[in-house]
Structure 1
Amino acid sequence: MSGMRQIFKKEMDRIFKDKKMVFSVFFLPVLMMVVLLSIINGLASNMEKDIESHKSEIYVMNEPASFRDVLEVSKMKCQLKTVASEKEMKGAKKEILEGEADLIVEFPEGFEEDIAKYQEGDPVPQVKTYENPSEEYSQQASRNMTAALETYRQMLLSQRVEDMSSLTIFQVNSDNDEMYIQDERKAGGKAIGTMLPYFITILLFAGAMGIGTDMVAGEKERGTMASLLVSPIKRKDIALGKVLALMLISGVSSLIYVAAMVIGAPLMMSKMGGLGDLDIQLSVQQILMLGTLLVAIAFLYSTMIALISVFARSVKEANTYVMPAYMLVLVTGLLTMFTSGETSQKMFFIPIYNTALVLQGILGQEVTMMQFGVTLIETLAIGAVLMGVIVKAFDSEKVMSA
């Protein structure tokens, strides 16, 4: 045990006495995450403002005189151009295709006369619009024009029917202020839970990868591992000390990442997604479950990275070997962002994936104690098995001298 403590202290001193290392492990990922979310938020806001302020270029064919008045009342930002022939219509469609124009509105000939002389059984006039769904400006122009055309339709209808309410069979939620029934805490936790597992698993693994590969493969590359192995310290204690140090560093960094996400993500998401104020409140039980699971995940990732590093001769080689595992963790985090409905109980027996599911479930207040227990026990068990393999590898001269 004293040997393990010495190795543990050696690794901790190496990390915490290096200010650059402390910054890169604990603060740089959080800073990068905040900067990334801020950039995304800023870009999304700028794009939204640009689309809203854009003056749409709209071609109109057979425009009724009364329609222009509706557009002025709607205050729609647009520049209307008249299409007088089929040849001009083809040119306008080409501009829509190339993104040079935003929308075409085609009224049938004699539209106002047909409306005024309409009798029951007559064909209903059809207004056609043409847009480019791959262009944001065109989509926005189409949405605004749809609203304006509905206003125009209601105006013309009111000229035909004296009592508009007689046409209203029923209304939906016109005066229902209590239409949304949800647990605000659960809703907020579920919203942030869609992205938290992804960020945490990636940042935690990436942080452990940067340090873990250097702890073993780095020492082999520098030649210091050979002198360490011939010291009076048992090889088992060397392996345990290194893994426990890596686990502690990874665990602490993950807690910092979670705190940053819980504090910063709701503000970002509310601005980006229009979700309103997300009220993230964690109970004591949720905090304990979250902390315990993060420790278990840190243990599993540490043993995975340390085991891979044992069989590498250099940090570069170790990083190459670790990359497939990193991609697995990345894909696993992504999968939890696109799950819907009730998750099958079998999914909680899939290593790594179950940890992301439980992280999401804890925040959304949907995880059961059985799901949490299975995931925790399995994660720790796999980590313990990998730890045993690492100890065996340290006892092998063939592996450690490679």
Structure 2
Amino acid sequence: MSGIKLICGKELDRVFRDRKMIFSVFFLPVIIMVGIMSLVGNLSNNAQKDVEAHTSIVYIQNSPVGFPQFLKAADKDCKIYEMSDWEKATEMIKNGDADLLIKFPENFVDMVSGYKQGDVIPQIKTYYNPSEDYSRAAYDTISTGVLEAYRQSLLSQRVDNMEGLTVFTVNSDNPDMVIQDEEKAGGKILGMMLPYFVTILLFAGAMGIGTDMVAGEKERGTMASLLVSPIKRSSIVLGKVIALMIISGVSSVIYVGALVAFMPQMIGGADLGMNLTLNPKQIAMLAVLLVAIAFLYSAIIVLVSVFARTTKEASSYVMPVYMLILVLGMTTMFTTKTPGEWVYAVPIYNTSLALQGILTQEVTTMQYGITLGMTLVFGAVLIGVIGKAFESEKVMSI
């Protein structure tokens, strides 16, 4: 036990006594993460505001009397032009110089006013460019909104009693139609992102230091002297893994805390409904699971580092593992179906699901227990493999 404490203390002392390392391991990633996400969030929010403030440019062919005024009343800032050259107008739509083309049939007013049963129903055609944000917004506003209101206006001129044609309405007077648990809704939104970021930050936080703990000591020649010391090799393994677990655990707490604290700035002020409060049970479940994840990731990194001769080589070995873990963490962002119980027995993937379930209050005790148990068991197996590798002179002399 004293050997484990000695090795663990040595590794922690190396990190926590170096101010530059403390900054680069614990604070620099937070600054970069918050800065990048804030920039992306603000740019996205500004782009949305720009689309909303844009003055739509609309070209109309065979415009009926009164329609431009009707369109102006609905969207007072839009610019309306009569279409004289169809080819030129379509080219403008394609190039983004115009936002929407509206084509009325010839004699549209006569077709509507003189309509008799069996006559051809006039069709208004609209054209837009979905790859242009302004054009897509104009289509959504005018084609699905203004033209429907115009249709109702013309229909009211044909039918005296419009209410007689109304079979039913949908939510015309229903201010309480949204029924949801605000905390669960906030947890669902954050639960889409948090497992992904925990996976990235936990593993990335331990990766640089973990590869140096074994491969770095091999490269510097200090591992050989450590192996011939009176400390048991199993104690060396556990000491290094526990130290790395503590470092990655501290970094994960800082990263997740920063993610939650700075989320409003990172989403650019957009209201995503993240009114999240965690109860003591959720906090305890998150804390225990984060410790287990840190233990597993530390074991993976140390195991990979054991078979490398240099830090650079260890980093190249651990990168594919990092990418695999990153992909597994990302998949939970797009999970819609309720996962089966057996999925929680899949190492690494199960931790992302459990983190998401804790935040949404949907994870069961059995699912959490399976996840926690499998994470610890898998980590313990890896510790055993590392211990065997440390006993092998061939592996340690690489």
TM range, normalised to the smaller chain?
over 0.9
Name the CA distance, whole Å, in 2 between partners of 1:328 and 1:271. 33
Q: Which range moves more in the overlay, 387-396 or 239-248?
A: 387-396
Name the CA distance, whole Å, in 1 between partners of 2:114 and 2:82. 25
Q: Which residue of 2 aligns with 1:221?
A: 219
Q: Which range moves more in the overlay, 163-172 or 123-132?
A: 163-172
Matches within 5 A, 1:91-110: 91-110=88-107
Regions of 4+ moved over 3 Å: 266-272
Give the Å deviation of 1:106: 0.1
Q: Which residue of 1 aligns with 2:6?
A: 6
Name the CA distance, whole Å, in 2 between partners of 1:19 and 1:162. 81
The partner residue of 2:173 within 158, 172, 175 is 175
Q: Which amino acid aligns with 1:275?
A: L
- The CA deviation string for residues 226-272 of structure 1, in whole angstroms up to 9 with x for no partner, is 22222222222211111110001111111222222333336645944
SS of the aligned residue for 1:189 comes to helix
Name the CA distance, whole Å, in 1 between partners of 2:259 and 2:138. 36
Query: Against the structure 1 CA distance between its residues 180 and 236, is the aligned structure 2 distance closer, same or farther, given a 3 Å change threshold?
Result: same
Identity %: 58
- The CA deviation string for residues 75-101 of structure 1, in whole angstroms up to 9 with x for no partner, is 3433223223xxx21222222223332
SS of the aligned residue for 2:63 comes to coil
Q: Which residue of 2 aligns with 1:50?
A: 50
1:401 counterpart = 2:384: no
Name the CA distance, whole Å, in 2 between partners of 1:370 and 1:333. 21
1:23 counterpart = 2:20: no
1:122 counterpart = 2:99: no
The partner residue of 1:204 within 169, 194, 202 is 202
Matches within 5 A, 1:299-378: 299-378=295-374
SS of the aligned residue for 1:325 comes to helix
Matches within 5 A, 1:280-291: 280-291=276-287
Matches within 5 A, 1:43-192: 43-84=43-84, 88-146=85-143, 147-192=145-190
Name the CA distance, whole Å, in 2 between partners of 1:259 and 1:247. 18
Q: Which range moves more in the overlay, 344-353 or 148-157?
A: 148-157
Name the CA distance, whole Å, in 1 between partners of 2:202 and 2:196. 10
Is the contact between residue 58 and residue 101 of structure 1 (CA under 8 Å) also seen in structure 2?
Answer: yes
Is the contact between residue 38 and residue 267 of structure 2 (CA under 8 Å) also seen in structure 1?
Answer: no
SS of the aligned residue for 1:239 comes to helix
Is the contact between residue 99 and residue 138 of structure 2 (CA under 8 Å) also seen in structure 1?
Answer: yes
Is the contact between residue 61 and residue 82 of structure 2 (CA under 8 Å) also seen in structure 1?
Answer: yes
Q: Which sections of structure 1, spanning at least 5 residues, go unmatched?
A: none
Is the contact between residue 192 and residue 266 of structure 1 (CA under 8 Å) also seen in structure 2?
Answer: no
Query: Against the structure 1 CA distance between its residues 99 and 340, is the aligned structure 2 distance closer, same or farther, given a 3 Å change threshold?
Result: same
Is the contact between residue 41 and residue 268 of structure 2 (CA under 8 Å) also seen in structure 1?
Answer: no
Q: Which amino acid aligns with 1:77?
A: D
Query: Against the structure 1 CA distance between its residues 76 and 320, is the aligned structure 2 distance closer, same or farther, given a 3 Å change threshold?
Result: farther
- The CA deviation string for residues 353-391 of structure 1, in whole angstroms up to 9 with x for no partner, is 001000000001000111111111111011111111111
Name the CA distance, whole Å, in 2 between partners of 1:206 and 1:127. 56
Q: Which range moves more in the overlay, 33-42 or 305-314?
A: 33-42
Give the Å deviation of 1:119: 2.4
Is the contact between residue 38 and residue 268 of structure 2 (CA under 8 Å) also seen in structure 1?
Answer: no
Q: Which amino acid aligns with 1:224?
A: T
- The CA deviation string for residues 13-43 of structure 1, in whole angstroms up to 9 with x for no partner, is 1111111111122222222221122112111
Is the contact between residue 198 and residue 356 of structure 1 (CA under 8 Å) also seen in structure 2?
Answer: yes
Q: Which residue of 2 aligns with 1:33?
A: 33
1:193 counterpart = 2:195: no
Give the Å deviation of 1:184: 1.4
Q: Which amino acid aligns with 1:10?
A: K
Q: What RMSD in Å do the two structures reach over aligned CA positions?
A: 1.6
Query: Against the structure 1 CA distance between its residues 266 and 130, is the aligned structure 2 distance closer, same or farther, given a 3 Å change threshold?
Result: same
Tell me the TM-score normalised to structure 2 length. 0.96
Q: Which amino acid aligns with 1:373?
A: G
Name the CA distance, whole Å, in 1 between partners of 2:171 and 2:79. 36
Give the Å deviation of 1:332: 0.7
Matches within 5 A, 1:245-264: 245-264=243-262
Name the CA distance, whole Å, in 2 between partners of 1:26 and 1:268. 19
Q: Which amino acid aligns with 1:96?
A: I
- The CA deviation string for residues 153-173 of structure 1, in whole angstroms up to 9 with x for no partner, is 222222222332222111111
SS of the aligned residue for 2:262 comes to helix
Q: Which sections of structure 2, spanning at least 5 residues, go unmatched?
A: none
Give the Å deviation of 1:186: 1.2
Is the contact between residue 76 and residue 144 of structure 1 (CA under 8 Å) also seen in structure 2?
Answer: no
Q: Which amino acid aligns with 1:103?
A: L
- The CA deviation string for residues 161-214 of structure 1, in whole angstroms up to 9 with x for no partner, is 233222211111112222122211111111110110000011100111011001
Name the CA distance, whole Å, in 2 between partners of 1:202 and 1:298. 12
Name the CA distance, whole Å, in 1 between partners of 2:375 and 2:268. 34
Name the CA distance, whole Å, in 1 between partners of 2:276 and 2:264. 8
Is the contact between residue 42 and residue 268 of structure 2 (CA under 8 Å) also seen in structure 1?
Answer: no
